[in-house]
Amino acid sequence: MSDDRASATRRDAIRYGGAIVGGGLLAGCAGAGESSEPTDSEAPSTAESTATDALSETATAESATETTTAARGPYSVTIQPAGQVTFPEVPETWVAENASWADMGVALGLDKPSAVVLTGEYRTWHYEDIPGLSTAKDGTTSLWQDGISKELLYDIDADVHFVDPNYMINLIPDWDRADVDEIAANVGPFCGNTSFSTYPWHGDYPYYSLNEATEKVAQVFGRTDRYRALRDLRDETTTRIRERLPLEDERPEVALVSPGSTEPEKYYPYRLGDTTAYEHWHTLGVSDAFAGSDVQSFTSDRGSIDYEALLEIDPEVLLFYTDQYRTESEFEDTYRAYLREHSSASQLSAVQNGAVYPAGGMYQGPISNLSKTERAARQLFPDEFGDERLYDRQRVADIRNGDL
């Protein structure tokens, strides 16, 4: 990359207004069974590095004034761990670390991002019945191409990267703080927060809730009124669902696992945590089948379990994080049919009772959360919810369009 090219970008005036946090840690996950690319949701990672910077204290987040145009003048938004990030104008193009941040922007009425780390992990089936919202990902680039190159980020030339800088430093091979600073200075800032799963290097700054992260995107793009409308819609929807749930002792214990392949002999377990990945399960008030056992979450020790361990726990419900989105019939043919014929899997209560379901990916924005909550409620409590639509698709479309 030449110095001339770096200086020629129209965004080389964008700079960090705050410090990037460092801290050593393992980050991210690789594809489960059928994918060789690293993902953040489904199976073990081999990519590790040690971050080398220390924590710098950052300013309190400031609200951005609502605007519908790009002519706003310089303004700042505080997003940990980047700190206070100054924008000379409202960004037009953007990159998202994963489907969580991508969905947040789309829910606020933006076009899909120019790139995500893995397009295969950006599951847009949630958009199928939102009026005016396409599931197509045309024009969205997969950043991961046997690594992530700075050259590709220069080519994409995005105004802002909703990517945790520590994600780049700890997960992506051959990246360090100097690389992050270079792209932030010459292209656009990194101002994401990896909130879907816990990491040792994340201990010095907060994990954002789904609402908090969406509000940050809204502040950057001047769409805080749409954020508030989305927040209210989600609050109203989840309240109505909770009011109809069975009593707590009548709700099932669920085991979240990622199958090692489409004919699994091992599984990567996930413990129900407090991050955004488990938002819909907390809404439904279910409990973790692994609670009280020796089984550790894959996000903690990168371990796996076999059928012996599953049979000892014998969860009421098995929920699969899988390598890709599958329709109900595809999930039936790929997983349930295999489990019913397997000598050990067929002994599991969940298999015998037909209570094996797709869990979806771990990434959640406002739209995908509404969709996942609805699907999970139908799966776990069919007598109460059946095939009922539990959230207002047209209202989502109206909010996206600014009709508040």
Domain extents for the chain?
3-233, 245-400
* Neighbour count for residue 361 (Cβ, 10 Å): 26
Where do we find the tokens 């295999």? 338
Distance CA 247, CA 218 (A): 37
Write out the chain's pLDDT in tens, 404 residues.
434 433 333 343 333 333 222 222 223 332 333 333 333 333 333 333 333 232 233 333 333 334 444 446 899 999 999 999 999 999 999 999 999 999 999 999 999 999 999 999 999 999 999 999 999 999 999 999 999 999 999 999 999 999 999 999 998 999 999 999 999 999 999 999 998 878 888 889 999 999 999 999 999 999 999 999 999 999 999 999 999 999 999 999 999 999 999 999 999 999 988 888 899 999 999 999 999 898 888 876 778 999 999 999 999 999 999 888 899 999 999 999 999 999 999 999 999 999 999 998 889 999 999 999 999 999 999 999 999 999 999 999 999 999 99
Characterise 194 by phi-psi region: left (phi > 0), alpha (psi -120 to 50), beta (else): beta
Bridge partners of 312? none
Quote the radius of gyration of the chain (alpha carbons, Å): 21
Task: Give SS3 for 124.
Answer: helix
Annotate 320-378 with DSSP letters as a single string: E--SS---HHHHIIIIIHHHHHSTTGGGSHHHHTT-EEE---S---HHHHHHHHHHHHH
Q: Does domain 245-400 have CATH number 3.40.50.1980?
A: yes
Contact 137, 128 (CB under 8 A): no
Task: Give SS3 for 3.
Answer: helix
Q: How far apart are the first and last CA of the chain?
A: 45
Distance CA 351, CA 339 (A): 7
Distance CA 282, CA 234 (A): 14
Q: Do domains 3-233 and 245-400 have the same CATH topology?
A: yes
Contact 304, 14 (CB under 8 A): no
Q: Amino acid letter at 23?
A: G
Half-sphere exposure of 364 (CA within 13 A, CB side): 25
Distance CA 45, CA 56 (A): 28
* Neighbour count for residue 309 (Cβ, 10 Å): 16
Looking at CATH, the fold of the domain delimited by 3-233 is given as Rossmann fold (3.40.50)
Contact 245, 87 (CB under 8 A): no
